[in-house]
Amino acid sequence: MTKETLTVTDNRTGQTYELPIEHDTINAMDLRQIRVDPGDFGMMAYDPGFKNTASTKSTITFIDGGKGILRYRGYPIEQLAEKSNFIEVAYLTLFGELPTQKQYDDWAYEIRHHTFVHENIKQLMEAFRYDAHPMSMFISTVAALSTYYPEARDIESADARMKQIVRLIAKVPTIAAFSYRHSRGLPYVYPNNDLGYTENLLYMLDKMGQTDYAVNPTLARALDVLFMLHVDHEQNCGTATMRVIGSSHSDPYSSMAGAAAALFGPLHGGANEAVLRMLVEIGDAKHVPEFMEGVKNRERLLMGFGHRVYKNYDPRARIIKKIADEVFEITGRNPLLDIALELERIALEDEFFVKRNLYPNVDFYSGIIYQAMGFPVAMFPVLFAIPRTVGWLAQWQELLADSTQKIARPRQIYLGEGTRDYVAMDARS
Ligand code: SDX
């Protein structure tokens, strides 16, 4: 009978320790018993970027990075992308099960009837410069929502939490659309509660004076599938941020503003914007070999490639690539696709990329589709944040329900100065 333990010998003292193993993991606090002198603090693990540290137990999303597997609540992303829709996947992610028809109808009704924002939010957004980045406007406005719903600070109340969850999921498309219209100097288009989730977003973004404006259903469905693919991705940087802020019992609006700020970074959800800027800079497929030499010489990153978890093709990128063809049927082919395909072709063959398991990730092809649909590049991180709102909130709920969780407060290895006395100004060299 094998023992589920790890035996560790501290060669400094010859002392041996037996550490329990659970889920192929040891509890970091079990290291603290390893010390040279009884008065020592005890041993810690050092893990910059948390590359090998589990911060929580979760039942929401499963990723197998080696096999390129992604499942929400056990359902493969490929099946959900083909058979489900964003509102249903949002329900599944938050509540853990696929909804019955009545549960779905009630949930869809709730989301459709909380799309409006307070009129003061419009005035708040008017204060941004004309060229304010839409993602910065999104982050600021989400934080500002907390001033309209003070009951959101009652995070112990399940009812209060659910009210804010519905509000955030319903309102982020409106905030996104208002950010876009502001950046274009266009009047805001109010939500139309008769429309579906992505249909309403496209309506608020695109409608001008037409009285018979209709959203293209193929584009609405393509965006719905893209949104499903972006709902959650276990403990990524933005979600980890949501959990860190949420662990101090901050309200969900303030927590999510922080999560969105983390997502904005070009190494994370801001990569979709960085990919497009990279493709435009390359300009033509014939410049790809020269560009790739620059990447191999460490002069820059190949944006949209590589992943902390996937050491195989990101399953989302595979699905997104298929959606591109459906969208281009309507919008016309995006010429940047040729550059992207050439980058991928070389990366999948070249030893530098193969050795480092650098495959296209979710951000590589999504931007090409968004641009073909007419979205300005600066809107791409916002289009990531809208669906990820569901994942952030589901993970936030799970955090608050987990009695083993505490306020996040990592330790450090101090390598600074020892004690020294204050030196008067005239005595300093
Ligand atoms: C997202 O975590 C998630 O789940 C995130 C996400 C989600 O849904 O929430 O999936 C969304 O953020 C996708 C990733 C989008 N970011 C990009 O496309 C930016 C480009 N990618 C890199 O910045 C990088 O790949 C990361 C940040 C995504 C992952 O970095 P890691 O895990 O810290 O890996 P690393 O930096 O240790 O890289 C390992 C090696 C290094 O080379 P060596 O020092 O070992 O020689 O690979 C190299 C890196 O230099 N490398 C790259 C590269 N990514 C890694 N070299 C060139 N181009 C790249 N893109």
For residues 103 and 23, membership in a common domain is answered with no
Residue 149 shares a structural domain with residue 9: no
- Same domain? 106 vs 12: no
Single out the catalytic residue among 232, 363, 402, 421.
363
> In terms of domains, do 12 and 149 share one?
no
Q: Note whether residue 334 is domain-resident.
A: yes
Closest ligand 1 atom number to CA of residue 304: 18
User: Encoding tokens for residue 356?
Assistant: 């480092």
Given the residues 230, 251, 268, 314, select the one marked as catalytic.
Answer: 268
**Dist CA 330 CA 218 (whole Å):** 8
In a domain, 415, yes or no: no
- Specify the long-range contacts of residues 160-163, CB closer than 8 Å, at least 24 apart: 161/252, 161/397, 161/400
Token pair listed for 117:
């924002």
Total of domains in the chain: 2
Whether 291 shows a pLDDT value over 90: the answer reads yes
Q: How far is the CA of 356 from the centre of ligand 1 (A)?
A: 10
**pLDDT tens digits for range 358-417:** 999 999 999 999 999 999 999 999 999 999 999 999 999 999 999 999 999 999 999 999
| Nearest protein Cα to ligand 1, atom 43 | 356
CA 320 / ligand 1 centre spacing (Å): 19
pLDDT, tens digit, 9 for 90 and up, residues 142-155: 999 999 999 999 99
Same-domain pairing of 16 and 78: no
Tell me if residue 233 is catalytic.
no
Q: Report the share of the chain in percent with pLDDT over 90.
A: 96
Is 363 among the catalytic positions?
yes
What residue numbers bound the domain in which 38 lies? 1-45
The pLDDT tens digits for 28-46 are 999 999 999 999 999 999 9
Q: Are residues 143 and 248 in the same domain?
A: yes
Query: Considering only CA atoms, which of 372, 387, 386 is closest in space to residue 176?
Result: 386
Cβ neighbors of 428 (< 8 A, separation 6 or more) are none
pLDDT of residue 2: 86
348 lines ligand 1 (CB under 6 A): no
Q: Band the pLDDT of 270: cuts 50, 70, 90.
A: very high
| Residue 427 token pair | 């005595």
Residue 426 maps to a domain: no
154 in active site: no
Question: Helix, strand or coil for residue 31?
Answer: helix
Q: Has residue 325 got a pLDDT over 90?
A: no
Q: 395 CA distance to ligand 1 centroid (A)?
A: 23
- Could you tell me if residue 300 is inside a domain? yes
Nearest CA to ligand 1 atom 49: 356
